[in-house]
């Protein structure tokens, strides 16, 4: 017995990846993970320019490492647990803001900006509604069908739209605490 699902055998890998990517905040997770890398790396890394070594080590190196690892973890959480995308996005934004004083100006502002954008994308992402194709939708898409029936003149369409709007009821008044004290529409101010 194979671990591969029988439904995915005939579907190409790119289509499966697109479907997976479309069902979660993919770009938010990717940007958040990319933002965590410079935040975690810069306090520990050094750069050699000829004979000179440039090190950005700070006293808060452990804090920068923790922030970077948490941002990478939050990016993975956005990918594999999209139900908690709002929490992960807010946490990514907070950690990006904390990284400014802790980790060399948020990984020289590169990690800060990537994490902020990723967190914002995660907070604002919403899953799309699945598109259902029916035979009627394919028939209405044909040019012949659009010339035959115009939706503005279709009484069935107007009835459906009118049914969605609630009617106002004449003579019905809702009794609340403020209407009891109203005294015929006049309220006393003092």
- Selected residue with higher pLDDT from 9 and 35: 35
Give the count of beta carbons closer than 10 Å to the beta carbon of residue 103. 30
Q: Is the pLDDT of residue 105 over 50?
A: yes
Question: What proportion of the chain, given as a percentage, has pLDDT over 90?
Answer: 31
Three-state DSSP at 64 gives helix
**Angle between helix 61-80 and 110-124 (nearest 10):** 30
Pick the closest to residue 151 from 164, 161, 165 (CA basis): 161
Q: Which helix (H) or strand (E) holds 53?
A: strand 52-55
- Selected residue with higher pLDDT from 97 and 55: 97
CA 188 to chain centroid, in Å, comes to 49
Q: Is the pLDDT of residue 181 over 80?
A: no
- Selected residue with higher pLDDT from 152 and 55: 55
pLDDT of residue 1: 43
Mean pLDDT of the region 27-48: 87
State the alpha helices, DSSP H only, in the chain: 13-22, 26-41, 61-80, 85-102, 104-108, 110-124, 135-140, 143-148, 155-163, 177-180
Dihedral sign (CA 84, 85, 88, 89): negative
28-37, 38-47, 99-108, 181-190: least confidently modelled range: 181-190
Cβ neighbours of residue 104 under 8 Å, at least 6 residues apart?
42, 43, 56, 58, 64
pLDDT of residue 72: 95
Contact 120, 93 (CB under 8 A): yes
Q: Is the pLDDT of residue 33 over 60?
A: yes
64-73, 104-113, 128-137, 171-180: least confidently modelled range: 171-180
CA 111 to chain centroid, in Å, comes to 20
What is the pLDDT confidence band of residue 189, given thresholds at 50, 70 and 90? Answer: low
What is the C-alpha separation between 139 and 34, in angstroms, rounded?
46
Q: Is the pLDDT of residue 118 over 80?
A: yes
């Amino acid at each position: 017995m194979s671990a591969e699902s029988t439904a995915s055998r005939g579907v190409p890998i790119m289509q499966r990846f697109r479907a997976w990517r479309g069902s979660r905040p993919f770009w938010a997770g990717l940007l958040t993970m990319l933002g965590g890398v410079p935040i975690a790396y810069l306090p520990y890394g050094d750069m050699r320019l000829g004979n000179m070594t440039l090190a950005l080590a700070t006293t808060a190196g452990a804090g920068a490492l923790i922030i970077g690892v948490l941002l990478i973890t939050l990016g993975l959480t956005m990918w594999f647990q999209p139900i908690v995308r709002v929490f992960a996005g807010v946490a990514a934004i907070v950690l990006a803001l904390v990284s400014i004083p802790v980790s060399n100006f948020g990984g020289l502002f590169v990690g800060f900006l990537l994490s902020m954008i990723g967190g914002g994308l995660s907070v604002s992402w919403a899953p799309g509604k699945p598109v259902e194709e029916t035979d009627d939708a394919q028939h209405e898409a044909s040019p012949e069908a659009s010339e035959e029936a115009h939706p503005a003149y279709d009484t069935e369409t107007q009835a459906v739209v009118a049914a969605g709007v609630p009617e106002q009821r004449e003579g019905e008044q809702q009794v609340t605490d403020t209407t009891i004290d109203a005294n015929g529409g006049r309220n006393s101010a003092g």
